[in-house]
């Protein structure tokens, strides 16, 4: 019987495979440890990312805790600690989102600066074309 030489070199790897799928047009990498990889991929690509799903759950948990579910949390100190951590995490996530939020103008300025630094001729053509589009007298 012939065996795969890869399995002889690394015998513990036989059967220990995970699906790692990179899409050509998507910057995401899917690593599936359980469930149906095709379903997981379709849900995260077409419905909502894991981060968005967790965000929704966090919003629901905080709303329930603030609207009377707090008594059950007070009875369990670990749940109270987790609720504090969840609130802190959501605040930090919002800070990160705000910090990384760029306006269209900021993006355009960055793209123009990059174009000017990497391709001066293309930058000059673009500026001339914008000048040509200006109404007379401006």
Q: What is the tens place of the pLDDT at every residue in 75-126?
A: 788 888 888 999 999 999 988 888 778 777 788 888 899 999 999 999 999 8
Position 120 scores a pLDDT of: 92
Position 67 scores a pLDDT of: 84
Position 54 scores a pLDDT of: 92
pLDDT above 60 (res 129): yes
Measure the CA–CA gap between 122 and 130, rounded to whole angstroms: 12
Position 121 scores a pLDDT of: 92
pLDDT above 70 (res 23): no
Query: What is the token pair recorded at 7?
Result: 């399995």
Position 71 confidence tier, pLDDT thresholds 50, 70, 90: confident
To the nearest 10°, report the CA torsion of 121, 126, 131, 133. Answer: 150
Measure the CA–CA gap between 93 and 11, rounded to whole angstroms: 42
Position 73 scores a pLDDT of: 78
Q: How far is CA 108 from CA 44, 113, 114, 120, 125, in A?
A: 30, 9, 10, 16, 16
Domain boundaries, the chain: 1-47, 49-101, 104-133
Position 28 scores a pLDDT of: 60
Bridge-based pairing state of the strands 29-32 and 19-22: antiparallel
| Residue (of 27, 19, 18) closest to 45 by Cα position | 27
What are the backbone dihedrals phi and psi of residue 44, each rounded to the nearest 5 degrees, phi first?
A: -70, -30
Measure the CA–CA gap between 6 and 114, rounded to whole angstroms: 46
Q: What is the pLDDT of residues 24-69, one digit of tens each?
A: 555 565 565 567 888 888 888 889 888 899 999 999 988 888 887 6
Q: Of 6-10, 70-74, 91-95, give the lowest mean pLDDT range.
A: 6-10
């Amino acid at each position: 019987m012939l065996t795969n030489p890869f399995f002889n070199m690394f015998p513990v790897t036989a059967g220990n495979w995970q699906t790692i799928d990179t899409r050509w047009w998507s910057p995401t990498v899917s690593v599936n440890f359980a469930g149906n990889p095709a379903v997981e991929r379709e849900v995260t690509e077409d419905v909502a990312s894991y981060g968005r799903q967790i965000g929704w759950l966090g919003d629901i948990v905080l709303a329930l805790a603030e609207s009377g579910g707090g008594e059950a949390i007070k009875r369990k100190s670990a749940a109270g600690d987790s609720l504090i951590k969840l609130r802190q995490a959501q605040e930090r996530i919002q800070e990160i989102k705000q910090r990384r939020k760029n306006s269209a103008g900021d993006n355009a300025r960055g793209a123009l600066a990059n174009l000017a630094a990497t391709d001066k001729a293309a930058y000059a053509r673009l500026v001339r074309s914008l000048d040509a589009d200006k109404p007379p007298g401006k």
